Amino acid sequence: MEFITTLVNGLSLGGIYAMIALGYTMVYGIAKMLNFAHGDIIMVGGYTILVFLAINPIVSIVAAVVMCVLLGVSIEKVAYKPLRGSSPLAVLITAIGMSYFLQSLAQIIFGTAPRYVIIAEFGSLELGALKIGHGTLITLAAAVCVMVLLNLFVKYTKIGRAMIAVSEDKDAARLMGIDINMIITLTFAIGSALAALAGLFSLMNVPTIMPTYGALPGIKAFTAAVIGGIGSIPGAMLGGILLGVVECICNSLPGVAPYTTAIEFAILIVILLVKPTGLLGKKRREKV
């Protein structure tokens, strides 16, 4: 029974990782860049919720999504777009710079003390001895919903298919009349909105926020995205849930717990060595 509870907790944590990983994977697929600032957008979303929570929880969620979308798009415009066409490493470094920038800005505005953001109190579902918090269920359901919607959006709408086209071959997509700039901006908007939602669900899970809040979840979610196969939407979901479950199982074993992070990263290495494109990643041929 204890194991099942741990498993359910792992699924909930995995849902959050998956949500962050979805944003990572979207941006990576289109812009081909490691957006190191993605985790910090989650942090900004969390602080926006904190600021607007006094008015109304719903308002605060909407405000967080709007804020994150605006921030994501403007970061893209200011820091990434001027570098399009230059070395991808340059973009990586500006993304890292952005991450530091957002963290120190948050410290200046909100201080470093942890703040509690309690959005709503949830009860729990009891099945015999099994107790599952409603928050857990909502998180999991939302992650699945987002994944399905995102998949449908990418596969069946015109814009979504344009996104696939851009990720496959930018030049060919441009020749087909696709507005590349618009697609990239839209991708950042969607990725940032997902980050806001991820912030919301992390706050439902752990109601504390501080300026360094997004750093480690960001790295772990990126790990999840790579495990699942970066660029793949179901892959991000799978990777996130796998990572969440592994983390919870390791943490529940006293002797193993100190090595949890090491084990998570070791799993990443093993998976990549066996399957170099991740679990659900597409194989690509090198163009000569």
Partner 1 sequence: MNRIIEKIKGITWKYYLNYIVIGVVAAVFSALTFAGALPQSTLYLLERMTISIILAVSLGLVVGFLGELSLGHAGFMCIGAYIGGKVSVLLADALGKGVVNLLISLLVGALIAAAAGFIVGLPALRLKGDYLAIVTLAFCEIVKSLFQNTSEESFGGPLGLRTPRFDKQYLFIIGFVLVLVTLAVIQNLLRSKHGRAITAIRDNEIAAHATGINVTKYKLVAFVISAAFAGVAGVLYSFANNNVQAAVFDYNYSIEILVMVVLGGMGNITGTIISAAVITYLNTTLTVVLTGNLAVLKDLIYALVLILIVVYNNAPALKNFREKYNPRKFLKALLKLTHPESKKYADDEGAWARVPTKIEMNEILSTDIVVNESTKNPDKADKGE
Partner 2 sequence: MKKTFAKLLCLVLAVMLMVTCFVSCGETNYAENNTKIKIGVSGPLSGGAAVYGIAVKNAAQIAINEINAIEAAGGAGTLGMQFEFVAKDDEHKATNVSTTYSSLYESGMQISLGTVTTAPGLEFKELANDDNVFILTPSASGDDIPEYDNAFQMCFADSNQGSASAVYFNENYQGKQIGIFYKSDEDYSTGIRKTFLDALDASLKNGIKEASFQEGDNDFSSQVEALKTCDVIFMPIYYTPASQFMTKGKGIVKDDAIYYGCDGLDGIDAIDGFDITTVPQEVSYLSHFNSGATTGAAKTFIDKYNAAYNEETEPLNQFGAAAYDCVWAIYEALKVAKANGKEFDVTTSPADFSEILTEVFTSDNFTFHGVTGKAVNADGTSNISWSDDGFVNKEAVKYVVKSANSAQ
Where on the chain is the footprint of partner 1 (CB under 8 A)?
A: 28, 32-34, 79, 82-90, 92-94, 96-101, 103-105, 107-108, 219, 222-223, 226, 230-231, 258-259, 261-262, 265-266, 268-269, 272-273, 276-277, 282-288
Q: Pick the binder of partner 2 from 51, 79, 84, 110 (CB under 8 A).
A: 110
Stretch that binds partner 2, among 63-71, 221-229, 241-249, 276-284 (CB under 8 A): 241-249
C-beta closer to partner 2: residue 24 or 213: 213
State how far the Cα of 194 lies from the Cα of 42, in Å rounded to an integer: 9
Distances (CA, A) of 193 to 54, 91, 100, 263: 21, 21, 21, 30
Interface mask toward partner 2 for 131-170; x: CB under 8 A = x---------------------------------------
Beta carbon of residue 2, minimum distance to partner 2 (angstroms, whole number):
6
By the rule CB under 8 A, 124 interacts with partner 2: yes
Stretch that binds partner 2, among 5-13, 24-32, 64-72, 162-170 (CB under 8 A): 5-13
Beta carbon of residue 279, minimum distance to partner 2 (angstroms, whole number):
23
Beta carbon of residue 35, minimum distance to partner 1 (angstroms, whole number):
11
Give phi and psi for 133, each to the nearest 5.
Answer: -65, 145
By the rule CB under 8 A, 104 interacts with partner 2: yes
State how far the Cα of 11 lies from the Cα of 18, in Å rounded to an integer: 10
For residue 94, the partner it binds in partner 2, partner 1, none, with Cβ less than 5 to 8 A by kind, is partner 1
Residue of 163, 232, 147, 246 whose CA lies nearest to 198: 147
For residue 116, the partner it binds in partner 1, partner 2, none, with Cβ less than 5 to 8 A by kind, is partner 2
State how far the Cα of 208 lies from the Cα of 155, in Å rounded to an integer: 37
Question: Residues near 41 by Cβ (< 8 Å), separated by ≥ 6?
Answer: 68, 71, 72, 75, 102, 192, 195, 196, 214
Distances (CA, A) of 113 to 109, 124, 213, 252: 11, 30, 11, 28
DSSP β-bridge partners for residue 116: 208
Question: Residues near 15 by Cβ (< 8 Å), separated by ≥ 6?
Answer: 139, 140, 142, 143, 144, 201, 240, 241, 244
Which chain residues interact with partner 2 by CB under 8 A? Answer: 2, 5-6, 9-10, 12-13, 104, 107, 110-118, 124, 131, 205-208, 210, 212, 215-216, 247-249, 251-252, 254, 257-258, 260-261
